[in-house]
């Protein structure tokens, strides 16, 4: 279990503002697969109104400064057999050996020691770098999984991985859900992002909120507020046309056709409830789960 998260209410810390960001970003030529130069990539995200970004080139730490964006050190680590893993945090520049590791088990243990953020990437990419359910369940310490990965919309597989997320949550592996563009070319911009509630605008505050699950994921729907008082959870959006309450294992508990919903957690199925909001076209947003205990 990710012990940084208040699993009864990941949104209990209500100070500050929502900051928009992406952690999974590739550039050219550093990543080997990115098609957009670093400077152009930074311009695109700054112009799109993002607050934080990580350049997570494959097996390469790309260090850069930009006064428009909070830049989080990051790497997409690749095991020889696949299993792509996003690793993030200020400790990475002091540990270049992480990029030379060939064992994911060793990597996850090392990242846990330095307090880094670890995300298992694109579980529903159907090529080998995706994760089977048992691999996600049995992996060493990590913070969460990408429940939305934008680049998979144009690759083999499915960009949404809430099925595997619910599999983990229902079996006691409590992990945070994250979203990303997995930016490789300009068409990948603004496909999926995270809105993180931070007490201040700093890299440290963003990372703390990411690890604590004080965020929602979006591919187009905006959420104004998420709050819990006692057993009552309220989710208020700007533009949702439908909000679904999802219980243990991915079971649909209730659907409302409004911008907001008020739900009594005692009415959920199983041990938790999470919320999926649907907007115009294929736009969606996802909250973190609220556990009953």
Do strands 176-180 and 144-149 pair parallel, antiparallel, or not at all (unpaired)?
parallel
Q: Which residues of 150-160 are buried (b: 16+ CB within 10 A; e: fewer)?
A: bbbbeeebbbb
- Angle (CA) 194 196 199, round 5°: 165
Please tell me the predicted confidence (pLDDT) of residue 169.
98
Please tell me the predicted confidence (pLDDT) of residue 126.
87
Contacting residues for 279 by C-beta, under 8 A, at least 6 apart: 220, 221, 237, 239, 240, 241, 285
User: What is the pTM (predicted TM-score) of this model?
Assistant: 0.97
Torsion of CA 129, 252, 243, 19, to 10 degrees: -40
- Give the distance, in angstroms, between the CA of residue 173 and the centroid of all CA atoms in the same chain: 16
CA distance 245 to 224: 17
Domains plus CATH for the chain? 17-217 (3.20.20.140), 220-293 (2.60.40)
Please tell me the predicted confidence (pLDDT) of residue 43.
98
Please tell me the predicted confidence (pLDDT) of residue 127.
77
CA distance 16 to 25: 26
The stretches in the chain having pLDDT less than 70 are: 129
CA distance 97 to 94: 9
Please tell me the predicted confidence (pLDDT) of residue 10.
98
Torsion of CA 107, 213, 263, 253, to 10 degrees: -20
């Amino acid at each position: 279990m990710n012990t940084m998260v208040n699993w009864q209410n990941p949104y209990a810390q209500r100070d500050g503002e929502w900051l928009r960001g992406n952690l999974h970003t590739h550039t050219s030529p550093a990543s080997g697969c990115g098609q957009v130069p670093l400077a152009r990539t930074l311009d695109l995200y700054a112009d799109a109104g993002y607050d934080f970004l990580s350049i997570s080139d494959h097996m390469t730490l790309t260090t850069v400064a930009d006064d428009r964006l909070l830049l989080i050190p990051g790497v997409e680590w690749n095991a020889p057999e696949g299993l792509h893993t996003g690793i993030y945090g200020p400790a990475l520049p002091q540990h270049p050996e992480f990029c030379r590791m060939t064992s994911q088990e060793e990597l996850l243990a090392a990242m846990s020691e330095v307090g880094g953020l670890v995300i298992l990437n694109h579980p529903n990419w159907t090529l080998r770098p995706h994760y089977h359910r048992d691999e996600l369940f049995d992996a060493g310490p990590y913070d969460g999984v990408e429940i939305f990965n934008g680049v998979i919309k144009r690759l083999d597989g499915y960009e949404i991985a809430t099925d595997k997320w619910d599999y983990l949550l229902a079996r006691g592996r409590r992990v945070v859900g994250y979203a990303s563009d997995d930016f490789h070319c300009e068409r990948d911009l603004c496909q999926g992002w995270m809105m993180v509630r931070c007490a201040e605008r700093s890299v440290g505050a963003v990372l703390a909120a990411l690890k604590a699950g004080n965020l929602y994921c979006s591919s187009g729907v905006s959420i104004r507020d998420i709050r819990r008082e006692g057993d009552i959870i309220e989710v208020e959006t700007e533009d949702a046309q439908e909000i679904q309450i999802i219980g243990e294992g991915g079971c649909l508990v209730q659907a409302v056709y409004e911008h907001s919903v008020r739900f009594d957690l005692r009415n959920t199925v199983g041990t938790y409830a999470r919320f999926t909001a649907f907007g115009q076209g294929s736009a969606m947003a996802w909250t973190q789960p609220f556990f009953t205990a």
